[in-house]
Amino acid sequence: MDFRTLFEPKKMAVVGVSLNNDRHPANVIFNKNYFRYPVKVYAVNPKGGEYYKEKIYKSISDIPEKIDLAIIAVRADLVLPVLKECVAKWVGGAAVISGGFAETGRTDLTEELRSIAEEADFPVIGPNCLGIYSPDHVDSFFLPSERMVRPEGGNIAIVSQSGGILVDQMVKFAGQGIGLSRAISIGNKAAVNEIDLLKFFARDDRTDVIAFYVEGFGPGNGREFALAANRCPKPVIVMKAGKSEAGTRAVSSHTASIAGDYAVFSSVMKQFGIVEAKDEYEMLSFCESLGSYPSTIKGRVGIVTASGGHGAVAVDRCSQSGLEIPVLSNEIQANIRKNLSGSIQKIASLGNPLDLTGSARDDDFVVAARELSRIDDIDCVLVLLLPYIPEVTSDVGARLGQVYQEENKPIIAYVPHVEKYKMIIEGFQLNRVPVAHSIEGAILMVDAMKRCKAC
């Protein structure tokens, strides 16, 4: 099924716009798209009237144009008649924002919604969801614009059963400078589910990495999802809720999902080369890493640092993750040493980690990263950058980023997240080198490449 018209609609109808409550979800959705996005928006309310001097249509059937996407924000008992109108008018698809379906015990409404969608081959997102966010195209989230934090456009798609988790991840993505291609909250997923969207994003030319927040699968869908993810030519990341007995109960009351046995789920993810994120911080690191380097590595790491302590901490954490830190031969060490600044040639420790000491300059980091990038037994270079050492300048990020561009060996950087180091961070990111704000986060990025199946 092709969902492109849902993510890039030209004409959209918002059903449920209120005549007397400008904070109604439908009004919020109408307003933000009317004022901020290049989509023609039509308001629908059975009472008719005007809104922002635009005609309010009494039904979708009355709109004279072909509608690509309908956003439905009416009471649950009114949703099904609206859906039938959408089908009759050949609308491209719908997102049902309304709650009050299976999550509240109304399985009859959910089943009838599914039946309408399946019979007409009509894509329905939801119900009980935020719907669709596609940068520069459309935003069906009923969150006021001034309260939304939106990442820049990018190459990562996120599919989430929870709207709240999705918005929280978007805030973190924006803070980390990670861009999104699409974001979609699927709620109860009565019609369109993770498998449908996985197949679409596997073909979507705007998406390179596909991330999922999953609460549970329908009967038989878990295995089908794993098989589809294994066939997908792009990295797939999954974070699952419902790991504990209490979490399983919470999942069921939230989106009426069947959480299933978490141990079995985790084992299947590993078996099929799907990267499982244990929590939202791993999800963030994995997305940033695989968004830059969507390929697998063996897990052999070269570490460059100006602090022996940072190097030791990184080695311990790498070992815990099953990553290797190969010891460099005397010949390689001698070759690196002769190209370092005279002030550190005799004091640098180069066995791996490469401890350049607090007297290192930009040139020394560049030499070390370049030499490690040329070693066949090193898959990834981890640079632990301490920008406060005296000889390091704001150019170091861009210069190290250029090393990646020239040598084509993945580089992961750690830079403390402080405003004064923003120029250094941007220098890395402009060259597609991911930057973590903790050593733990940097090593999670390396680990993601090791755990990802070959793409």
**Percent of the chain whose pLDDT exceeds 70:** 95
Residue 247 pLDDT exceeds 70: no
Last residue of some domain: 274, 292, 310?
292
Contact call for residues 42 and 14 (beta carbons, < 8 A): yes
pLDDT at 245: 55
**pLDDT for residue 363:** 98
Sign for the CA dihedral angle at 440, 444, 450, 451 comes to: positive
Which range, of 206-210, 262-266, 288-292, averages the lowest pLDDT? 262-266
Pair 326, 212 in one domain: no
State mean pLDDT over 228-235. Answer: 94
Predicted local distance difference test score (pLDDT) of residue 180: 97
Distance of CA 141 to the CA centre of its chain: 17
Asked if the model's pLDDT at residue 365 lies above 80, the reply is: yes
What amino acid occupies position 337?
R
Specify if 132 maps to a domain. Answer: no
d(CA 220, CA 2): 23
Domain assignment present for residue 389? The answer is: yes
* pLDDT mean over 92-112: 94
What is the mean predicted confidence (pLDDT) over 105-125? 96
Q: What's the whole-number average pLDDT of the chain? A: 93
- CA separation for the pair 441, 95 (Å, rounded): 35
Residue 430 lies in a domain: yes
**Nearest-angstrom CA–CA distance, 234 and 201:** 9
One domain, residues 341 and 414: yes
> What is the value of pTM for the model shown?
0.91
CATH code for the domain of 434: 3.40.50.261
Evaluate whether 91 touches 62 at the Cβ level (below 8 Å): no
**Is the pLDDT confidence value at 256 over 70?**
no
**Domain encompassing residue 205:** 149-292
Map 296-343 to HEC letters. Answer: CCCCEEEEEECCHHHHHHHHHHHHHCCCECCCCCHHHHHHHHCCCCCC
Is 129 part of any domain? no
Asked if residue 130 is part of any domain, the answer here is no
pLDDT at 250 over 80: no
CATH number for the domain harbouring residue 29: 3.40.50.720
| Closest C-alpha among 196, 187, 252 to residue 225 | 196
Task: Report how far residue 11's alpha carbon sits from residue 429's, in angstroms, rounded to the nearest whole number.
Answer: 35
Q: Given this model, what pLDDT does residue 218 score?
A: 84
pLDDT at 427 over 60: yes
11-15 mean pLDDT: 98
Cα(420)–Cα(415) distance, integer angstroms:
11
Q: Could you tell me if 278 and 161 lie in one domain?
A: yes
In the structure, what pLDDT confidence band is assigned to residue 295 with cuts at 50, 70 and 90? Answer: confident
Angle at 306 between CA 303 and CA 312, to 5 degrees: 55
User: Is 380 in contact with 400 (CB distance < 8 Å)?
Assistant: no
Q: Based on the fold, state whether residues 84 and 156 are members of the same structural domain.
A: no
Asked whether residue 445 falls in the same domain as residue 369, the answer is yes
Mean pLDDT on 138-161? 93
Domain count, the chain: 3
Q: Does 133 map to a domain?
A: no
Q: Is pLDDT at 268 greater than 50 in this prediction?
A: yes
Residue 259 clears pLDDT 70, i.e. is over it: no
pLDDT of 291 higher than 60 = yes
Residue 24 and residue 68 share a domain: yes
Q: Quick one: pLDDT at residue 270?
A: 85
Residue 240 pLDDT level (bands cut at 50, 70, 90): very high
* Residues in CB range of 188: below 8 A, 6 or more apart: 101, 102, 103, 110, 126, 127, 128, 129, 255, 256
In a domain, 141, yes or no: no
> Tokens representing 30?
């109408």
Are residues 14 and 89 located together in one domain of the fold?
yes
Residues 39 and 174 in one domain: no
Note the pLDDT of residue 1: 74
Report the DSSP beta bridge partners of residue 160. Answer: 185, 213
Contact 158, 235 (CB under 8 A): no
pLDDT in tens, 311-334: 999 999 999 999 999 999 999 999
Spatial distance between the Cα atoms of 176 and 436, rounded to a whole number of angstroms: 8
CB 124 within 8 A of CB 97: no
Q: How far is CA 53 from CA 34, 48, 233, in A?
A: 12, 12, 48
| Listed range (122-126, 200-204, 253-257, 333-337) with the worst mean pLDDT | 253-257
How many angstroms separate the CA atoms of 118 and 113, rounded? Answer: 9
Euclidean distance between CA atoms 443 and 455, whole angstroms: 21
- In a domain? residue 144: no
Both 255 and 179 in a single domain? Answer: yes
Q: Is residue 288 located within the same domain as residue 305?
A: no
- Average pLDDT, integer, range 1-26: 94
Same domain for 279 and 156, yes or no, is yes
Query: Do 422 and 269 touch, CB atoms closer than 8 A?
Result: no
pLDDT at 418: 75
Peptide bond into 127 cis (omega under 30): yes
Question: Partners of 50 in the beta sheet?
Answer: 55
Residue length, the chain? 455
> CB 317: neighbour CB atoms within 10 A?
17
pLDDT, tens digit (0-9, with 9 covering 90-100), for 373-423: 999 999 999 999 999 899 999 999 999 999 999 999 999 999 987 788 999
Task: Please give the pLDDT value at position 454.
Answer: 54
Domain boundary among 90, 124, 158: 124
Tokens of 435: 């930057």
**Domain check: are 168 and 278 in the same one?**
yes
